[in-house]
Amino acid sequence: MQGKVRHRAAAAIAVSLAAVLLAACAGLPPVETQRLDAHFGDAVRQARAQQTLNPEASRNTDPVAGIDGVAAQNTIEQYQKGFREPPPTFNILGIGGTSVSP
């Protein structure tokens, strides 16, 4: 019985020692990692800023000029018609269609 207790105690000490040694390996991240973390997301913010033509566009309350009412109405009707009636499909170069016998 005493041998089992010693074996369990030795195993517990070994596990504890391994945990302490592993914890000692985990330190603060290197300086390079800290520098990169400080600038995380900068590239995305810079790319978005470079792709924005006019950052103040949302504050402009002037109406859009340059298209008359009739042309705008026709455009809207054609757009909505495209959803009601899908464009006709046709066979391109005989792929996936029926063949015609001579």
76 domain-assigned: no
Q: Is the whole model's pTM more than 0.75, yes or no?
A: no
Residue 6 lies in a domain: yes
Q: Structure tokens of 26?
A: 């985990």
The total number of residues shown for the chain amounts to: 102
pLDDT of residue 28: 64
In a domain, 3, yes or no: yes
Question: Does residue 43 fall inside a structural domain?
Answer: no
pLDDT for 70:
92
51 within domain boundaries: no
In a domain, 72, yes or no: no
**What is the predicted pLDDT for the residue at 98?**
59
Q: How many domains does the chain have?
A: 1
Per residue in 11-51, pLDDT tens? 899 999 888 877 777 666 677 777 878 889 999 999 999 99
Give residue 7's domain range. 1-25
Cβ atoms of 94 and 100 closer than 8 Å: no
Confidence of residue 83 (pLDDT cuts 50, 70, 90): confident
